Structures are given as structure tokens and as C-alpha cells.
Structure 1
Amino acid sequence: MEKRISRKITVILAVLLVVFAIGGNGTASIVKASEQQVRNVIFMIPDGFSSAYATNYRLYKGKESIMDSMLVGMHRTNSANSAVTDSAAAGTAMATGVKTNNGMISMSPDGKKLRTILQASKSAGKSAGLVATSTITYATPAVFASHVTSRANEAEIAPQYLENDVDVLLGGGKKYFPDQLLNQAKEDGYRIVFERKGLTYARKSKKLLGLFSEEGMAAELDRKRTKEPSLVEMTEMALNILSQNKKGFFVMIEGSQIDWAGHANDPAWAMKDIEAFEQAVEKAVDFAKKDKHTLVVIAGDHDNGGMSVGGYGEYAAKIDLLRQVKATGNYMATQLNEDKSNIKEVVKKYTAIDLADEEVKKIKAASVPSMAINEVVSKRALVGWTTNQHTGVDIPVYAFGPGSELFKGLIDNTDLPKRMAKAMNIQLIQGK
């Protein structure tokens, strides 16, 4: 009798083990209980991304993205003082677990500094990194390792990264790191690189500061015209360096340009930068699969542009047209001559679109030619936009690896860092 009961208990425990081994990827694999411990968190933020972007990208790609199978829930994005957040307030909630006002960087509405998930990870002996295709001092990366009342104070944000001992910093924004700060970084043990090829020699570095442009990095559509690395190359290097710490790491990796594409209402820019972000996600997931102690969490901070799937009165989508676009609207506008007499030729060269005379007139008369070009491309692809600013819709949450079940359902953006801290068994307590 006792043997039969013991056998039943063993079977039940085995079933439970399999159930808990099913992460957000929906694939079962038998994992020992000890392997469920989360040492590393890779937090990936496709800035400005929403379900409409996800759907359009699936159509653009022609099949499911790697993220589709990892979908676990949604999160609410409102800030402390608005139903529509900006990146500073959204990022603060996602880094600290506390709502703040638009424009504030990891400070409460009454001006108190808020402890971040990155700082909590460092206190636990882990390494930490920030990767972005914007300036590395821009709102989203800034919230994880700095505290300022205004996101515009990027020159004040940069030195705080060194004060908080962020081990890996990769992105744009060289203008915010004067020689004095770069010299301090060298003294603090950072290897400093300014071009893509510099990453080749940085693999064995303990600390790395990569500043690949004066301001924001190039859109993925335009990157081939620069000496900048891709997001996946920066991701690979960050993971390589941070994983040297046996106590683990926390890293935030942002696809910043998705948001900028939304502000520009540029659908091709958006799709190409989602593609670049997906490649970085694939690299992160591959790392997590091999490591078995890594949690990957993906969540946009807010929607941008109010993108639609289909539009302009047609029950259709023609996203495949965007695969022929070879430059952003911003870049195309720089190729127009002074009297804009070459509009047809430029648009044809970079989009394969033969403009109608009315479209040429509209672009020529526009005060911002790039926006007019983007409107033409959007209309041809049947991608609608409601604004060139943020909206307040709920945002998809994706997760992979041990702890992914913590992010299921409709949660708040403030829940994200709290649940990461729980997964890593570290303390994210404000005021301490």
C-alpha cells in the first residue's frame, strides 16, 4: 500500500515538473528543479511597439516571428499623470516598479530617487548592461541607471552610468561623453570603441563602452551607409562579456528605432528595425536555451503612431511592398535636390514606386518632405496611422525561460521589474 502511494506521489511530482518546465515558448522540456533558478535576465524593449506592429511585421516577414510563440500577456502603460505615457515615465515604471510623471527619469513625482532593477542586480553581485540604438543616454536606457528630473538632461545621465558601475554600455550619444568622462571610464577599466570593427577586439573585455555615433545610431535601413554595428552584434557582445560573471547579470536591450519610425509614420523603417530587433531576440533566446538559467522578457514601453493593419478604405494589406524599400523617408529627403525636381527618381530608386503626378506635387509642396514620402509609402502598403505621437493602448508581453509564467495575463508595467526581481530572488525595495 505504502509503495503504491509512494509511486503515485512520484508520478504526480514528475507531471508537475514537466508542467513547470513549460515556459512562455509553449514547448515542454524536462528540467530539474535546480535548473529553474534564474541567474540572468535579458530585458528586451522594442520601443513604440504594439500588437499592430506585431501583426504587420508577421505579414511583412511572411510567417510568424520568433516572438509570436513567446506571447504570455499584455501590460498597461499609463503614467502617473497621463493616460498616454512617454518613454521616460514608461521606462521608469518598467525599471523601478513605480509610476512617475511624463519626462522624469527614475524619480517619483515628488522628486525622490527610485531604486532600479539594474541597481538591485548590481547590489546582488551581478553584472549589468545597457544596449540601445538611440543615444545610450536616451530615456529608455537612462531609467535603468540614472536619476534626473528631465529626460532632456542627457549630459547629466552619462556620468551616472559610471557611478552606478554599468559594465556594458553600447549605443549612440558620443557627444554626451566628453574627454574627461572618457578618461574616467578608462581609469575605471572600460574598453572604449567607436566603430563596428572595434567590437571584434573587445570580446575578452571585462567592461565595455561603445559609442558608435555622435547622437542616435542609424536606422537599420540606413545602417549600411555607416560604420555602426547592428543591434544583434551589440547584443552578442554584451552577452559574451556579461556572462563572465558566475553570479549572473541583468541587461536591457532596446530596439529604439521602432519608436522613431512611428514618430515619422515610416512603415518600412518600422518593419526593418523590428527585423533587426527580432535577430537580437533570436540571439538572446539561443543564449537562454544553452544557459538554462536565463529569463528573457520582451515588452514595448508604449505604442507609437496608432498604426493600423490595413486602411484607406480597403479590406486588404499590402505589406509585401515594404520589402522593396531600401531607405527611410528621412534619408530619401536628403537626396532631393534644391528645387525637388528629382522626386520621382529618388522615390523610384529607394522604393520601386512609380509616383503619380499628384503624389509628386504633394511631396514637393510639403514643409517636411520625408513625412510626405512616408505617407505615400504607407498608403501604397495600406498601413494607416492616427498620429505621429504615442497612444495609450495595452502592449504585448513575451517571455522565454524559467520564470516566464510570472508574466502571464494583463499586468501593469510596474509589475515587470517586480516579477524579474522575484525570478532572480533579489530585492527591489524602494527607499533602501
Structure 2
Amino acid sequence: MNLKRALPGVLMVLACMPAFAQSSAPSVRILLPEHTRLLEKQQVDIVLEVRNATAVSGLKVLAGGVDWTSRFKAPVKAALDCDTSSDWVVRADLQSFPTPGQVKLEVSIAADGTTVTDTRTVEVREFKLPDGQARNIILFIGDAMGTSYRDAARLVSRAIVDANGKNSFRDGYFDDLLQMDKMPVSGMSMTYGTDSIVPDSANTGTAWATGNKSFLNAVNSLGDGTDCAWRTTGLTNVATLPYMTDNPRVENLWQYLKRRYSYRTGIVSTAAITDATPAVEGAYVAYRQMRLEIARQYRENPMLNGRPAFDVILGGGADPFTAAGRTDKRDLIGEFQALGYNYVTTASQLKNVYGPSVLGLFKGSASPAPASNGIATASDVNMDVAYDKLGLTRPASEPTANLGAYPDQPMLDVMTQKAIDVLAGSFTQAPFILMVEAASIDKQSHPNQAAGVFWDTIEFDKSIGAARAWAAKRSLKDTLIVVTADHDQSMHIIGVSNTPDSEYFDRTKSEKISYTTSHGDQNFTVWGDAYSNARAGLPFINTSTTASNNGGAAGMPGSFASTDSTSDPASSTYSTYSGLTAYKLDAATGYPVNSGTGLRRLAVGFRTGDHTGSSVPVTAEGPGAFLFTGYMDQTDIFFKIAAAVSSDTSEADKLLDLLVNGKYPKTVGK
């Protein structure tokens, strides 16, 4: 996720200024959203804010009619809403509701002699693991992998021309679909946050990790009255750190299952492992860039009485785990090793490592250091993308590969397989919950680097295939696999391109475009791969409609003259409607190549370099997979996973098996 889009703005200012903050009368508010939903015994901080009162007394809190007053600490003076009023905060941290149902929270307190009240109804859902039922959970997150991103991976990796010239994508059908396509249940997830229709990876992750929505940048945390000190000012540093660590926290499913049922837990990501998506499985901070604190909470988790959050951690971003990269100079890598974790830094080492616990950090800075703000590291070092790890030549508009001192980074499917083997190989035979993220689908999409996007999505699909194969071999069908995205981005499928390699890879030839409007001067550089990648910022002349706001040569600008053929439109340099994609396979790696004769590349267009508010696909397989059909909110994924592992789903699973393996119609290639 690009942090530039999450900078505070007018929308966040308004979202951070509740109506009650503008009144001078005393008030009390329970800091739980209107639609708070929890599992029974899921931990949450219950925080009360009292405004406009010089003195408070006589607190009374009821939860479902039960007196909870004694659970709360004494009121503490607080600077709420960044104004001069006299305010208070009263906390009861890490509370939980033991009984399912609609639980009414009732609060009353005397503020300057006036009794003020607030209520909130919390939906508490039942969760108990049946005797003898221990189900594994593998959640795959394709960061920014909306529908068109799945389509792109299919149109590249499943349109393979063999030695005899036969394309596996013919007449509009595929001989073989993606691994995620083959999963029997599909749905769609809405991804809106509490403060925006276009979310980031932190608040979307909070939704499916805890079952509750939050604001941009929040990691398993809810909004509070001190957020104005940093969310609306951009002052995110040591000075404002207390205001980023006082937000109410909601326990995620990873800690919940480990704490209550001794589940083994893991995270795998091609990002820096303290990035937002992996962070929501193991940390609780209001601001996702608190990388030093996130790393510390992996080692000392607040929901687990200071025990480590995970049994397996695999990804990039070593810096916040090193003494040199931290302001407190703690060597977290050494601390994990002292607890029995095997530490690896290369693909070769990963291949030979065994459990019960593994820490793998496969890329970092040559000289780690804290950031000047004191809450992050100077660099967030992600793993290199699949395209570069495979040694493929980048198109002219994309940066060349630079693996530097890290040439031996594992592919995502290798990391996935190792994580599964370690988590499932425990002598305790405990079930596990694992999250696997393909982070650079998003990170390559922000700068509109189409080749990087395609191959990272293909790598992601191979990791899904590894998990599906492992689950299929088990004697018990005890593993639920869910594949989805945190949010979408703006890439769309727009056709095919026959750009010759001599133009596609030529870095010596480019053309500049500039515009001047009342908004200001803007410019763009066009390279030889423009006909296969219409980047955001490029004008696109649409002559297929009666649009009156553009004219001239159709399509996107280019650094060489395009060719068009009336008799064979599929052979045109860029073709909107004619022709199918065609790639060749590298037998050694199992990935398609992006050069050579006979190649017909996929053409895509980006409208922005940012996230979008579109719903994202969900696919599922395994016990309880039927729950993931239809349109759902992103928070529902949390509760559907919980229901799948805690309920007897056998009858519905049989029906699903009948639909998949019975006499009913089947999709070609599935």
C-alpha cells in the first residue's frame, strides 16, 4: 500500500471530529462502533471518554445486566479533541464477553454533578471447537488483487503456446485455469473503512483479522479522541507516540486461537514483514508505520501475556528486528533465537530448516538504522518481485532488477510450503492458522509496472497451488483455504499488444508529453512498451464513441508508430477487440517468459496509481467453504472462518462435493 494516499486530509479531519466534541455540555461515550461484533471471549479494550467535565465520580457500568464497574481503572485526565476543555478517560483493557447474544453495555457517570450516560449493543457470536474437530486455516491475501488482476494472471500464465504452436487458450477457453479459479466457492467482499470508501491495507486487514472496521492506517485499533494529535496533523513521531498507542484494541483471530486453543500461527509475506497486512495478524497500533513497535509485539504480544505472536515468520524487512535498526537497541532476532527459533536469511537455508519455530528474514538494509521520527526504520525493505527473481528483462518503462546482496531469495510458493510443513509438523499435532500475502501485486501496481504485477500474481497462484496440493493429500479434509484481496487497484484489461521486443525493451528511445491546465503543469514519459501498458497519466483517445472531449490518433501515445491491419486486426501493434494472448513457458522455472518470437502480450491500462473502492473476489475450498458464497462485507470473512472451524459443516460440505464432483455442469479448464 502506498502511504502517500493515506496522508491526513479533509476527509480524515471530518471523520476525526465527532459531533459530541463540538458541544460544551458534559458527555460520556463508549469507544465501540455501532456495529461491534465479537466472538465469545474475544478480547477488546473498553474505553470511555468523558468530555467537558472538571470532576467525575460515581461510575457505573453494566454489561448484559452484570456489574462491570470494578473492572475499570480510575479516571485519568486526557486532552481530547485537541481543545482546551477538561476531559477524562476511563479504561478496562482486554475485556471479553463470555456469553453469546446481544449484550447491552450501559454506562453512567457523574460529570460536574450531572449524570451522563451512553449505551452500546455488542453482538457476541458463539465459538467453541467441537471435540475431535481441529481444522487448519490458510488465508491468502493478494494485496490489491481485484478481479482484473486475477484475469491478467490467467491471460498470461494460461495462454501458453507449446512447441507445436498450440495455444492453451483457444476459442475463448482455457485448457487449465488458475489454482484460485479451481476453488469451488466464489463470492465478493466490500472493502470500505470507517472513514473512506477507498481503504488501505491496515484497516482492510483489521476487518478480516478482527471482524471489526476501523480507519485508514489503523492496525487492530479503533478511533479515539486523541487521534487529532497525529491523524489530522501528519505529526507521527516519538512526541505523538502516546496518542498512537492509547487506542482501543480488538484481538485478532491469530491471537484468539493461540490463546484459547493453542493453535500454531504463522505469517508469510513478500513485503517487509512488519508491513500492514502481516502486522494485522500480530500487532495492535493505531498507525501502521510504527514498525519498531510492531516488531516488538511479534516478540512480546499483548494478547498473549508477552509470548511471541507466531511460530513461523517469513518475509522481508529485517531492519526493525536488528539492534542497529531500533531506538531501544534490542536484538529481536537474537531474542527469537534464544526462544528456540531457527533463523534463516536465504532460500538455500530455508530449504533445510525445520521447526518447531522459524524466523526467516530474506532482505534488509546494508546498514539498518531507525528513522528520524523514532517510530520506524529508515528503510522498509521488501523482498524482490517474482519477475526480477526469475531474471526476466524488464520492459523499457519499468526499473531494472537489483537484487544486490540478496540474490538467493525464496519464491512465495517455497515459503508457503515451508510454513505449512513447520506449522503442521509439530509433535503436539495442534491445528494452525496461516496468512500468506503476495504484497507486490500492490507495490508494482502503484507505479503501474504491469510486468511486475502479472508475474507476482502468477507467483501468488503457485503458492495457492502448493497449499491446495498439501490439503488434498491429507486423510482428513481438515483445512479451510480462503483466497481474497485486501483492496483493489485501477488496472483493467484493455486488449492485446504485438509490440516487437526491439521496441518493448528499448531504453534508449522515449518521448515526453506535457500538459498545462489550471491544476498545474504535468508531464509524462512514453516508452516502447506503452501499447501494452497504458499508464495513468497517459491520454487515451477514444474514437469508438461520440466523446467530444478528445480527438486525434486512437489509443495511447507511443514512442514508435503503431501498425494496424484491416485484414488481420489481431496482428496490430495494439488491438482492443481482436486476438488472444500468447506466451511461451520456461520449462526450468514453470513461469511464462516475456520475450521471443510469436509473443502476443496482454495490454492493460491504469487509471491511477492508487487503490480503488471496488469490491474484491473471494474464493474458498475445504470444510465450511460454502459460507463464502455471495456478496459479503470484509468483516464477515473473520466470522465465516470462525464459523467454518467451530461448526459441524459436514452436511453442507457433502452438498458442495456433489456440486463439484457430481453430474452438474463444470467450467472448462476447472
* TM tier relative to shorter chain: 0.7 to 0.9
User: Which residue pairs with 2:533 in the alignment?
Assistant: 378
- Name 2:298's counterpart in structure 1: 161
Instruction: Compute the RMSD of aligned alpha carbons.
Output: 2.8
Aligned equivalent of 2:315? 171
Instruction: Please report the TM-score for the alignment, with normalisation by the length of structure 1.
Output: 0.77
Q: Percent identity between the aligned chains?
A: 33
- Does structure 2 conserve the Cα–Cα contact (< 8 Å) formed by 1:77 and 1:395? yes
SS at match of 2:257: helix
Report deviation, 1:247: 2.2
Cα 1:376–1:160 shift into 2, 3 Å: farther
Instruction: Give 1:82's match in structure 2, choosing from 196, 213, 222.
Output: 196
| Equivalent of 2:455 in 272, 284, 303 | 272
Q: Structure 1: how far apart are the matches of 2:291 and 2:497?
A: 37
1:51 alignment counterpart: 147
User: Superposition pairs for residues 27-38 of structure 1, below 5 Å?
Assistant: 37=133
The one-letter amino acid paired with 1:171 is G
- Deviation of 1:370 after TM superposition, in Å, equals 9.0
From 477, 492, 511, give the equivalent of 1:308. 492
Residue 237 of structure 1 corresponds to 418
Match of 2:512 among 362, 372, 377: 362
- Report the Cα distance in structure 1 between the residues aligned to 2:466 and 2:180, rounded to whole angstroms: 12
Structure 1 pair 147/374, CA: closer, same or farther in 2 (3 Å)?
farther
Tell me, in whole angstroms, the C-alpha distance in 2 between the residues paired with 1:142 and 1:57. Answer: 27
Residue 262 of structure 1 and its aligned partner are, at CA, apart by: 1.1
- Deviating more after overlay: 287-296 vs 380-389: 380-389
Question: Partners in 1 of 2:217 and 2:289 — Cα distance?
Answer: 8
Give the superposition deviation at 1:374. Answer: 6.7
The answer to which structure has the higher strand fraction is 2
Aligned to 2:446: 263
2:465 to 282, 306, 315: 282
Report the structure, 1 or 2, having the larger helix content.
1
Structure-2 change in CA distance of 1:65 and 1:38 (3 Å):
farther
Specify the alignment match of 1:128 in structure 2. Answer: 265
Match of 1:247 in 2: 430
Aligned with residue 151 of structure 1, among 264, 268, 288: 288
SS at match of 1:382: strand
3-state SS of paired residue (2:606):
coil
Matching residue within 614, 625, 637 for 1:404: 625
Contact kept, 8 Å, 1:56 with 1:319, in 2: the verdict is no
Cα distance in 2 for partners of 1:168, 1:195 equals 15
How far apart are 1:361 and its partner, in Å?
Answer: 2.3
**1:68 pairs with one of 181, 203, 219:** 181
The answer on whether the counterparts of 2:504 and 2:528 sit within 8 Å (CA) in structure 1 is no
Deviation at 1:244, TM superposition (A): 2.1
Provide the rounded CA distance (Å) in 2 between the counterparts of 1:405 and 1:205. 33
Q: 1:266 to 1:38 in 2, by over 3 A?
A: farther
Contact 1:307 1:385 in 2 (8 A): yes
Supply the distance in 1 between the matched residues of 2:256 and 2:212 (Cα, whole angstroms).
14
SS in 2 for 1:384: strand
Q: CA deviation at 1:257?
A: 0.7
Deviates more, 1:381-390 or 1:251-260: 381-390
| Alpha-carbon distance, 1:303 to partner | 0.5
Summarize the Cα distance change of 1:151–1:376 in structure 2 as closer, same or farther, 3 Å threshold: farther
Measure, in 2, the Cα distance between the counterparts of 1:408 and 1:116.
23
- Structure with higher Rg: it is 2
Which moves more between the two structures, 230-239 or 258-267?
Answer: 258-267
Give the number of aligned pairs.
Answer: 357
User: Partner residue of 2:343?
Assistant: 192
Q: Is the 8 A contact 1:35 1:293 kept in 2?
A: no
Q: Which residue of 1 aligns with 2:334?
A: 183
Q: Distance in 2 between matches of 1:219 and 1:369?
A: 25
**Secondary structure of the corresponding residue to residue 251 of structure 1:** strand
Q: Residue 216 of structure 2: SS of its match in structure 1?
A: coil
1:414 counterpart SS class: helix
Counterpart AA for 2:488: D
1:8 aligns with none
Answer with 254-263 or 379-388: which moved more.
Answer: 379-388
Residues 1:113 and 2:239 are matched in the alignment: no
Cα offsets for 1:275-309 (capped at 9, x unmatched): 100110000101111221000000101002x1111
Distance 1:36 1:60 in 2: 43
Secondary structure of 1:308's counterpart equals: strand
Aligned partners of 2:141, 2:215: CA distance in 1, in Å?
Answer: 20
Kindly tell me: are residues 356 and 220 of structure 1, through their superposed partners in 2, closer, same or farther at Cα, counting changes over 3 Å?
closer
**CA offset digits 1:215-253 (Å, max 9, x no partner):** 100011112452100001100110000002412000000
How much does 1:419 deviate?
1.3
**Offset of 1:201 from its aligned partner?**
2.3
The 3 A distance-change label for structure 1 pair 397 and 268 is same
Q: Normalising to structure 2: TM-score of the pair? A: 0.50
Unaligned runs of 5+ in 1: 1-33, 311-316, 325-346, 427-432
Deviations 1:65-116 (A, max 9, x none): 1211324100000011100100100011011011000001111123211110
| 1:206 has 2:356 as partner | yes
